[in-house]
Structure 1
């Protein structure tokens, strides 16, 4: 399936002019961008889909430390892109205005990411299957609640640090009109009270990600 360029999500940092049709995100349509759009229209690493398909087949593109073959794969916040042959590494982020940005990082930073826990399932012998918002599943005995974030090491496939929803935790807003803003949690209830540089506001747990 394809999407007409004028109908793309306004958070995508792309020109309204260019290729008439763009690939539709495979998932996370409100918060993600397909790899093809990122590398061709945003970072301009390639000029055409054909060029990207070729280098994907050659294993030259890493997403979260894994070789990727699918140009329609959708990336979400804090995913990393690695192009070792160019010594280039990028991290998916949100600007203060809610637009997607791709911050250049070093290779070491590309080996881990912050991800938000969507749900979990208790298995045998005290082991829990943790299901994260980016589609990642990890077996762990760590104590973590749905809505909390964790720093995940890709190579070791384990949680490096738990980032709980609690007072004084630092957050990034990932949905709604405040998307991209950063702040600190002042109180936790049915709604989360956030203090940012500009204001105080309440927001749902599904619209925040703990980052520190």
Structure 2
């Protein structure tokens, strides 16, 4: 299997220029599915911390690059929405956040904010032993004793060290959300109304903000904390 990806066919969320060269590195197996951006692209093309794959691998071998609190050893490790990147030697921390147009960008945050990450619940299921498993947007799972307070489309904040839930934001009218896809990607506002579509059609939401608001399908929004975008250094 090839380890290269044609630039013209990369997902729209990847922060790469499609017409600069023919190939780029292909993401390895891991979280975020096809939307995951290889860590090498983040290190080399976005941040400019390294000039080559060899330099990137050397940095990872020093265990100074953390993703969601864990040291990473694979330069092809997929990076995606709401991941927390920590560069311990540089004392630099970033949250991956969709910008206008849905491309992933890096938001500088402080060390305290880098201690946890946001996740959108996409599935809830019961597992062996009677516990419940919450599956998040990136494919990761959190096991809880009681899942009665959680529903799909809610957001939770997970501590990167303990992997425990430290905050919960229900998906409901009045919740603060950000659009992560579609023509309003990157826009933030409060849900004014959730419009339920009969049958198998997509539900939609009307979101209010200072720019007059917007309407989009509910799959395109994620509930966030009111301080979520105020962590810039």
* Length-normalised TM-score, structure 1: 0.89
Q: SS state of the match for residue 168, structure 1? A: coil
**For this pair of structures, how many residues does the alignment match?**
212
Q: Does 1:70 align with 2:74?
A: yes
Residues 74-85 of structure 1 correspond to what in structure 2 (within 5 A)? 74-85=78-89
Give the direction of change, closer, same or farther, for the CA distance of 1:46–1:111 in structure 2 (3 Å limit).
same
Residue 183 (structure 1) aligns with? 189
Q: Structure 2: how far apart are the matches of 1:196 and 1:73? A: 35
Q: SS state of the match for residue 150, structure 2? A: coil
Residues 143-182 of structure 1 correspond to what in structure 2 (within 5 A)? 143-182=149-188
Q: SS state of the match for residue 40, structure 1? A: helix
The alpha carbon displacement at 1:182 in A equals 0.9
Q: Structure 2: how far apart are the matches of 1:203 and 1:25? A: 29
C-alpha RMSD over aligned residues: 2.2
Contact preservation (8 Å) 2:12, 2:102: no
Residue 129 (structure 1) aligns with? 133
Q: SS state of the match for residue 157, structure 1? A: coil
Q: SS state of the match for residue 14, structure 1? A: coil
The alpha carbon displacement at 1:88 in A equals 1.3
The alpha carbon displacement at 1:10 in A equals 4.2
Q: Structure 1: how far apart are the matches of 2:224 and 2:116? A: 13
Residue 87 (structure 1) aligns with? 91
Q: SS state of the match for residue 3, structure 1? A: strand
Q: Structure 2: how far apart are the matches of 1:125 and 1:30? A: 32
Q: Structure 2: how far apart are the matches of 1:123 and 1:99? A: 35
The alpha carbon displacement at 1:12 in A equals 3.3
Residues 1-212 of structure 1 correspond to what in structure 2 (within 5 A)? 1-16=3-18, 20-26=22-28, 28=32, 31-123=35-127, 127-140=131-144, 141-142=146-147, 143-190=149-196, 191-212=204-225
Q: Structure 1: how far apart are the matches of 2:166 and 2:224? A: 13
